[in-house]
Structure 1
Amino acid sequence: MALKHSSALPPEMLRVFETLPQPYLILSPELYMLTASNVYLQLTNKTRVEIEEQYLFDVFPKMPDWSSEEGGIAFSLNKVLETLQPHQLPVTRFDIPDRDDPQQLVERYWETSHTPVFDAEGEICYIIHHTEDVTKRVLAERALKNSLYKETQAAATAERLGKQIEKLFAEIPAQIAIVTGPDMVYEFINPRYKTDLFPNREVLGKPLLYALPEVAGQPILDILQHVYKTGETVAGNEINIPLADEVGGPVKDHYFNYVYQAIRNDDGDIISVLSFKYDITELVLAKKRLEQNEKELLALNYDLANANAEVQATNEEIQSANEALHATNQELFRAQESVLRLNDALEERVEQRNIELFNAQAEAARERDRLKRFFMQVPTGICVLDGPEMIFELVNPAYQQLFPGRDLLGKPIMEALPELDGTPIIDILKRVYYTGNTFEGKELLVPLARRVGGTIEDRYFNFIYQARYDGDGVVDGILVFAFELTETVLTRQKEKENEQRFRFLLNAMPQQVWTARPDGSLDYVNEVVCDDFGRSMDQILGRSLQEFIHPDDRQHSSKKWKAALQNGNEFMVEFRLKFHNGEYVWHLARALPLIENGHIRLWLGTNTNIEIQKNNEQKKDEFLSIASHELKTPLTSIKAFNQLMQRTSDMHKLNGFIQKSASHVLRLEKLINDLLDVTRINAGKMEYNMEPFSFLEMLKDSIESMQQATTSHQIILEKADDVIYTGDRFRLEQVVNNLLSNAVKYSPEGKKVLVNCSIHSDGSIIVSVEDFGIGIEEKNLMRLFDRYYRVDNTAMRFEGLGLGLFISAEILKRHHGSFWIESTPGKGSTFFFRLIPDTATKATPVADSDTHYQDDTIIIKYNPKHNRLDVDWIGFQNLESVQHGCFKMQNMLIKNNVGKVLNSNIHVLGNWSEASDWGNTEWFPDMEKAGLRYFAWVHSPSVFSQLSARKSIYALKGKLVIEFFTDVKSAEEWIESV
């Protein structure tokens, strides 16, 4: 069967794609599947045979609800083919066959991108289809949203029911209590129980006999114990319970209508007794008073009858007494009838109230049952922790699911979940219990194991700890609402880590990196941009890059930028950007648009610093001009002398022409050799022949050779100490010749050049060459040893390519030497270089502690009064001595925990420029990490050294503050003030 696609992959590429650890599919432009990674096959439940060389939508049919407006795989692929640009799809649903039942589709969500691959002619040869299964994330987000909604509704309902129950218990006109256990410990009392019966006594949490010792031996105690043991509900009327208003107070009779009912746990075991009483003491006492009145009336009638028989003679008195007695009797009968009617009414009201109370009790029980069922069914984890030991009193299935296989009910939290010991959770729970303040945690990290003995995992929860109150408003437990967010948090953390890694990569790039909105305003810049511009990111964002461009470049750049914004083409231009120090630096800007659905979403751009390339181009242009002139001059002269030699037969003239021609040949040879040496240095192929030789003899040979070549100057060797030095004599002689040549060349009005060679006390060789010529301005000193640099480029007053000092510097560096210049414009210059023989003495420390270090090159002391390091550099320095002293300084900075250094170079001789790059790129950043914040730098007398010092802190970033001074006193005043 012939292939239906226009592209084929070589076998090695097939193997690469097949083993990729991500789901990738390679398509031809005609959308035939060429190959896929093994991960993709596993993800889609396909075999390689089922997909290879098959049309994509034959294997994976299009979803019917995919439209071009909504996007889809077909739309995305067509977009890639039309625009030749990568395309990213939003999260898309695409169901795949079930692995166990291929006839059934399984719900799946995907993040998909398509990237074109081009051939040499710019045509699409492949399309890389990359997809990622994000079903778990989508479903988790959906479940989280639904769960949070249900949790919110459930919490509102629970709160409403809880408030209703609290209100019922608080307002019901009866005395309600719950006593727990065989000792009948008061677990709950409602407000009426407290105010009506024991306003001056505390009974909550106390056993019955301890709280109410006066009930010992009373029938009420037997009734309660009978209910607790048998579970039988007992109800009665007018029971007498002697009670005192306060401990030790007089006992008073109280009468109640009552109901005692057992309370069982989920296992059916009796754990408490509910006491429901109605105080009818006043009613009973009224009935007793009525009965007493009736007894007194009967006794009075009996006495009156006896008196009537004895005193019949006194009829008027008897009649009067009878009338009085009759009136009294009538009044008593009326009072008796009133009392009986009142008793009937009271009994009727009490019966009605008892019915209402029983109905309220039943409704409360039903509400509790509904609330409990709600707790048990809500998908959010809920539990109730009882008492200061925080015993799991209630655990719903959702909460138990957080700890599968672990027994929680009835156990204190520290016994059930011992891994919480030492975590903030226990302290938070105690704070809620003892203060009553609700605590809400958001995505709090809690190390917990899912099973007994299982691995402790970092798990994240949203939760609420809310105090539970008893009838007296005293906290007796904690309600816990918990929802686990571990997967969501870890996913977000991973995304954040990826973003941080991406930002780190952008900030690690040496170029300026930025993104801009479709209108061209900046919406992201990396740290390089902020450091270069000397502004914070907030000060830059929202502005246009054009604001930082040199005015002379702005018009051209703005024109190209506007054109790019309009047509969406690549933006590329060179311009100068203004840095924080006010200088403009050349950059190459390049930006590409990110296009989605035919619209530019953002621009991603980089600005590459090309200042060095620009300078090198300028120097090369200047050098080519000089080189053409310098090379042409001796060639022209040689050609002219050759023509003269051909025309003359005069031997005297012929010898003169030959000598002059030979001098030009030597000059041409020197120019060519300089060019060759530079080429060798750049290629790292400069060869050195290290052998012992007499340094003084080499110096004398160089002076003699130069003296023979010049008659305008006298070269004087003022001081010459001899030493056997191991090095490349030819190359070092080349250095001396170059310095002598420059001294003669740049002092046309001078008559002499002074040379000195001395052996320092440390064994090093110090050579100086002094002229009395034009001198060098300070701004040019550090550039003298650069390639192609000449102090007087434009006037071309002096011959040469400007390579000599560059070559000399490289030769001295190869010999681990140093060099420096002292110069006064109009008076002359002195060039120095220093070499260290193998026989030179090494610096030996005379003090080496955490607070004091000293050797021949440096003294470092910890100043406890001002909490700083005082540093004094001494004598000549090189890279090795500078690094040694700096490392000692860094170690003492850390051990003494200081952030200030007073760094004096007043006693430094020569120059240490070879260490400046190391200080800038390595040491100062390390010192900042070690805690350095303020650095007072006292210059050495050498201007060249001062320039080297400033070079060592060029482009330093961060919080480090460095100030330069010319005297120690000013430096001390500054560093003490910060």
Structure 2
Amino acid sequence: MSKQQRLNTNQLLDVLALSKNATAIYTTDDIIIEAANDAMIAFWGKDRNIIGLPLEVAVPELKDQPFIGMLKNVLNTGVTDAGEGIAAELLIDGELQTSYYDYEYRAIKNDAGETYCIMHTAADVTERVIGQKAIAKAREQEEALESEQALNEELAAANEELSAINEELKQTQHSLNKLNAELESRVAARTRELTESEARLRYMLADAPVAIAVFTGRELIIEAANKKVLETWGKTAEVIGKPLQLAIPELVGQDFLQILDDVFTSGVAFYGNEVKALLEQNGIIEEVYSNFVYHPLKDVEGRTTSIMLAANIVTEQVKARKAVEANEKRFRFMLNAIPQQVWTATPEGLLDYVNQVVRDDFGGSTTEIVGNGWQQYIHPDDLPKALNTWVEALQTGKEYVIEFRLLFSDGMYRWHLARALPLIEDGQIKLWLGTNTNIDLQKSNEQKKDEFLSIASHELKTPLTSIKAFNQLMLRTKDAEKLESFVKKSSDHILRLEKLIGDLLDVTKINSGKMDYSMEPFSFKRMLTDSIESVQHISHQHQIVLQNTIDITYIGDHYRLEQVLNNFLTNAIKYSPNGEKVFVDSKIENNNVIVSVQDFGIGIAQKDLDHLFDRYYRVDNTAMRFEGLGLGLFISSEILKGHNGRFWIESEEGIGSTFYFQLPLPN
């Protein structure tokens, strides 16, 4: 405890209880009067308004006297200063008078040995000092008389002086008798005053709002206990006079008895903060929390004779805080368990909490994310609208709803739907609770759907327009040769339209999980040759070359696997407009059938290879040059998965591509 620290009520009561004379308590380097009893106030010739003032302000006539310096020395050194018959000039009833006092400036220390206050006790011994001085003077005169008697020539004068001294001694004796009577009267009055003061103190302690008790001896006999401590213990005044462990048996096995024994042995106070005790109240063991001190009370020789307990019961505060902490912990757990981004903001709109999902998505701590604010993560194109909508919600107290893109730790922006509602209590917004729901997949699906509808409408419209045109030409022509040509071309467009519709139906089946497979044995060689022949009929520019063929019977869906091969072949022809050949190869390797289709066309960029088998995916630089829905490879990949097979692609832009698929053979 520093020298500047003020005393609490319990410490003042404790210190004042030790005083037997005129007493005052001082603290800090300014020698603040913390407390003074009536006797000390009377010595100073002041009233109680001086309590709380520095001593040199309260009693200004002491300023040029040594006492304030002496007090500061005690405070700084911790060494008690005491003396007898010291002279002090005090202003009494408007007149500066000299009085004499026995005094003690005692340094009061804490457990760390630091002086935290000074206790000043004093007794007015003016009459005694005056008497002693008179006696001393008489003795001096007597000694002078004896010296004079040695001188014969001065005998007569010495006799006369001796008579005078005797008369003076009689007067001094009379004064001393009078002084003794006055002293006895003062002692009696002081005794009555102390008794009344002690009675008042006991009355105050009995009704004090803090729990106070005194335990005497190593047996810890309950010497005194006020109403508050008895109420806390769940006991009555009958426990006074009993050993603590017998009066409150539930303390056995807890730490308190051992701590008290240690305080008794060491003479060092023990301070406890929010310590839990199990006490029986109304027949039930209850948890009681308190801030308390076990303060040793010592005799004049410094031996501990008793221990005073002073405790402030904080059970309700501790339980309320623990309940709040538990509720907050459960609340945080629930927020972290939600698979959405959850956040809270102050009534002014400042972000102050984010859950674990936000921290994982953004790759930062709560402190970092809250410090950055949403501006760090919302896409710059979405930020102005988001901020304007947020300001409007703050001003109106209405729900905040908006969609924006958030920057994730992987550097990608993802669409989220943000919603926030204010928590309103007593008509005031206490906080905002918000969620950000990831809608990136829905946004992506919507975009793909829009793209698909655009592509599908375009692709379906093209053959329909051609069919309509050829039908009109067929109605107008009379030339049989032209009519046959128009019918063939119209038929080709009908086949193309049929393929587009078939792809759409297959995707619908895949999405609904109703893609059926007819697993039957068939000639794999025949399937290869038939597929090549079928595609070759409609492609006159390219030569499809079957380099190697395997002659095995394979169990699978002949039609679906032929659909895969046809798709690979038509893609090879479509994306090699300047090529002349397409090579088909087949082999058995590690108990797997592997088929490859190689073209010498435009090739595929590395970044697009992993997406070619995605639904509706079309390489950007080919989408406008080549017709199709972007469904063929997706359907092929699903068919291969249905046969426990797989696929891969090797390609180089400007050189060409090789599409592979693999089918397992039974062991």
Q: TM-score, normalised by structure 2?
A: 0.62
Paired residue for 2:617? 789
Q: Secondary structure at the match of 1:450?
A: strand
Paired residue for 1:667? 496
Q: Secondary structure at the match of 2:214?
A: strand
1:395 to 216, 225, 229: 225
Measure how far apart 1:416 and its partner are: 3.3
CA distance in 2: counterparts of 1:814 and 1:826, whole angstroms: 33
Equivalent position amino acid for 1:669 in 2: E
Paired residue for 2:105? none
Paired residue for 2:12? 160
Equivalent position amino acid for 1:632 in 2: K
Paired residue for 1:378? 208
Paired residue for 1:704? 530
Equivalent position amino acid for 2:18 in 1: E
Paired residue for 1:825? 653
Tell me, yes or no, if structure 1 residue 742 matches structure 2 residue 571. yes
Q: Secondary structure at the match of 2:224?
A: strand
CA distance in 2: counterparts of 1:419 and 1:835, whole angstroms: 79
Q: Secondary structure at the match of 1:168?
A: coil
CA distance in 1: counterparts of 2:419 and 2:595, whole angstroms: 50
CA distance in 1: counterparts of 2:464 and 2:601, whole angstroms: 29
Tell me, yes or no, if structure 1 residue 416 matches structure 2 residue 248. yes
Equivalent position amino acid for 2:612 in 1: L
Q: Secondary structure at the match of 2:510?
A: helix
Measure how far apart 1:368 and its partner are: 4.2
Paired residue for 2:126? none
Q: Secondary structure at the match of 1:378?
A: coil
Measure how far apart 1:439 and its partner are: 1.6
Paired residue for 2:440? 611
Tell me, yes or no, if structure 1 residue 682 matches structure 2 residue 508. no
Q: TM-score, normalised by structure 1?
A: 0.44
Paired residue for 1:297? none
CA distance in 1: counterparts of 2:488 and 2:192, whole angstroms: 133
CA distance in 1: counterparts of 2:664 and 2:552, whole angstroms: 13
Q: Secondary structure at the match of 1:633?
A: helix
1:404 to 215, 221, 234: 234
Paired residue for 1:753? 583
Q: Secondary structure at the match of 2:205?
A: helix
Equivalent position amino acid for 1:620 in 2: K
Q: 1:521 to 1:405 in 2, by over 3 A?
A: closer
Measure how far apart 1:783 and its partner are: 2.6
Measure how far apart 1:801 and its partner are: 1.0
Measure how far apart 1:791 and its partner are: 1.3
8 Å Cα contact 2:251/2:257 also seen in 1: no
Residues 73-472 of structure 1 mapped to structure 2, 5 A cutoff: 156=9, 159-168=11-20, 363-387=193-217, 390=220, 392-404=222-234, 409=240, 410-413=242-245, 416-418=248-250, 421=253, 430=262, 434=266, 436-441=268-273, 443-444=274-275, 446=276, 448-451=278-281, 454-455=284-285, 457-472=286-301
Higher relative contact order (CA 8 A, sep 6+): 2
The alignment covers a number of residue pairs equal to: 528
CA distance in 2: counterparts of 1:680 and 1:526, whole angstroms: 40
8 Å Cα contact 1:520/1:544 also seen in 2: no
8 Å Cα contact 2:250/2:279 also seen in 1: no
Q: Secondary structure at the match of 1:714?
A: strand
Map Cα deviations across residues 709-728 of structure 1 (whole Å, 9 max, x no partner): 13524354657596966x66
Map Cα deviations across residues 379-417 of structure 1 (whole Å, 9 max, x no partner): 332233445565544333322223325986533449835
Equivalent position amino acid for 2:448 in 1: K
8 Å Cα contact 1:432/1:438 also seen in 2: no
2:635 to 786, 797, 807: 807
CA distance in 1: counterparts of 2:192 and 2:586, whole angstroms: 117
CA distance in 2: counterparts of 1:486 and 1:358, whole angstroms: 46
CA distance in 1: counterparts of 2:510 and 2:192, whole angstroms: 102
Uncovered stretches (5+) of structure 1, i.e. residues with no partner: 1-153, 172-327, 840-978
Q: 1:754 to 1:384 in 2, by over 3 A?
A: farther
Q: 1:759 to 1:601 in 2, by over 3 A?
A: same
Measure how far apart 1:789 and its partner are: 1.0
Q: 1:619 to 1:433 in 2, by over 3 A?
A: farther
Equivalent position amino acid for 1:163 in 2: V
2:460 to 615, 626, 631: 631
Measure how far apart 1:528 and its partner are: 4.6
Measure how far apart 1:790 and its partner are: 0.9
8 Å Cα contact 1:405/1:452 also seen in 2: no
Map Cα deviations across residues 543-600 of structure 1 (whole Å, 9 max, x no partner): 8756754444455555555666666666554444444555444444455667788887
Q: 1:481 to 1:623 in 2, by over 3 A?
A: same
Q: 1:483 to 1:162 in 2, by over 3 A?
A: closer
Paired residue for 2:604? 776
1:493 to 297, 310, 322: 322
Uncovered stretches (5+) of structure 2, i.e. residues with no partner: 1-6, 24-157
Paired residue for 1:621? 450
8 Å Cα contact 1:703/1:715 also seen in 2: no
8 Å Cα contact 1:576/1:586 also seen in 2: yes
Equivalent position amino acid for 1:439 in 2: Y
